[in-house]
Each structure stands twice: as structure tokens, then as C-alpha cells.
């Protein structure tokens, strides 16, 4: 009986801390998946800035809450430490997820990335990357 109570207490404590961790995190305003080509990398660690020429993003919601298509353009992103630097080198084609948190700097944060084959055709204006 004592073992059962102890196990129940430990399980309850673990679930409580997990629930608190999930609720205490700062959820993004939006998350998007897009493809592009890395054009520049500056800094390192949490100061890393990655410029990517990305394809158009339909239904992008801006700081003002309005939804519209964001055209293809070069934009700078921060990147989570667990996103491998080897994926974010100039000239690499990537598919990536980024979070938008308008209250933070940088507001655009890459949370996941995957290499695309170099033969992948991206929809980018000619000569723009």
C-alpha cells in the first residue's frame, strides 16, 4: 500500500511539472512552413542571424493581425540552438518551420529545418538570390 501511494505521488508530481512546463512556455503567435535558399549567416549561438530568400507565404498574419500573402523575399531569422548549423549555410536549399512572436526579438525564429535536394525548384523571382 505504501508503494502504491509513493508511486501515485511520484506520477502526480511528474504530470504536474509536465503540465506546468507546457503552460508556462510562450506559445508562438503563428507557425509557418516555407521553403527557401540561405543567402547569409551572421553571428553564432543565440545571436545567430540567418537570411533566407523564401517562397511566398499565403495567409501570413502580420503584427496588426491582418492576413495577406507575403511575397517571396529575403528575410532574417533567428534559429533555435538545436537546428543544425550545417543546414543553414549560404547556398543551401531548405524547408523550414518558423515561429512568429511579435513581442520578442528576433520575432521570426526557425524551430525546425530540413535540407532540400539541390535540384529542388523553388518559386523565387529570377536573379534574386
In a domain, 59, yes or no: yes
The CATH number for 75's domain is: 2.40.50.320
Could you give the dihedral angle defined by the CA atoms of residues 87, 92, 95 and 99, in that order, rounded to the nearest 10 degrees? Answer: 60
Per-residue pLDDT of 54-87, as tens digits, reads 999 999 999 999 999 999 999 999 999 999 999 9
- Three-state SS at 8: helix
In a domain, 69, yes or no: yes
Q: Is residue 20's pLDDT more than 80?
A: no
pTM: 0.77
In a domain, 19, yes or no: no
Q: How many domains, in total, are found in the chain?
A: 1
In a domain, 25, yes or no: no
In a domain, 7, yes or no: no
User: Domain span at residue 42?
Assistant: 30-115
What is the distance between the alpha carbons of residues 126 and 26, in angstroms, rounded to a whole number? 38
In a domain, 124, yes or no: no
Amino acid at each position: 500500500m505504501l508503494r502504491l501511494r509513493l508511486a501515485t505521488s511520484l506520477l502526480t508530481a511528474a504530470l504536474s511539472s509536465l503540465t506546468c512546463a507546457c503552460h508556462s512556455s510562450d506559445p508562438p503567435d503563428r507557425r509557418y512552413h516555407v521553403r527557401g535558399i540561405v543567402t547569409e549567416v551572421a553571428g553564432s549561438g543565440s545571436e545567430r542571424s540567418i537570411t533566407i530568400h523564401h517562397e511566398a507565404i499565403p495567409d501570413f498574419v502580420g503584427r496588426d493581425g491582418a492576413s495577406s500573402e507575403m511575397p517571396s523575399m529575403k528575410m532574417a531569422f533567428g534559429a533555435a540552438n538545436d537546428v543544425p548549423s550545417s543546414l543553414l549555410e549560404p547556398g543551401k536549399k531548405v524547408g523550414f518551420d518558423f515561429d512568429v512572436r511579435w513581442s520578442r526579438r528576433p520575432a521570426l525564429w526557425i524551430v525546425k529545418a530540413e535540407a532540400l535536394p539541390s535540384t529542388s525548384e523553388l518559386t523565387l523571382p529570377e536573379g534574386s538570390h
